[in-house]
Amino acid sequence: MKIVFRNNLFKFGDTYWRQKSGTAMGTPPAPPYATIFYAIHENEMLKKWSEQVPFYKRFIDDVFGIWLTHNDPSQDEILWKEFCDDMDKWHGTG
């Protein structure tokens, strides 16, 4: 894997480029790498949010989850926003 990620070469038009960070889209190792990479984040986040998210399943980039609402609608809105923010902030993506 180290060799693949340090030598990400791709063609754009008539020029070739080496990607310095991450993995190039369309390369065979990209999907499993991305799945493992994000699964690490999901595991930590789901521990934190286990009371509100008792069921969460992902297949590649599709997610199905159950959110248990709080009795107080305003508190539920705050919790939902925090959950979404937590999911978006990891690794500088949000």
Can you spell out the DSSP letters for 15-56?
Answer: EEEEE-SS--TTSTTHHHHHHHHHHHHHHHHHHHTTTT-SEE
* pLDDT for the residue 39: 87
The string of pLDDT tens digits covering residues 55-70 is 999 887 788 999 999 9
Helix (H, G, I), strand (E, B) or coil at 14: coil
Residues whose CB falls within 8 Å of the CB of residue 48, separated by 6 or more in sequence, listed in order: 86
Nearest Cα residue to 65 out of 35, 85, 36, 42? 42
- For residue 76, the 8-state DSSP code is H
Residues of the chain with pLDDT under 50: 94
pTM for this prediction = 0.65
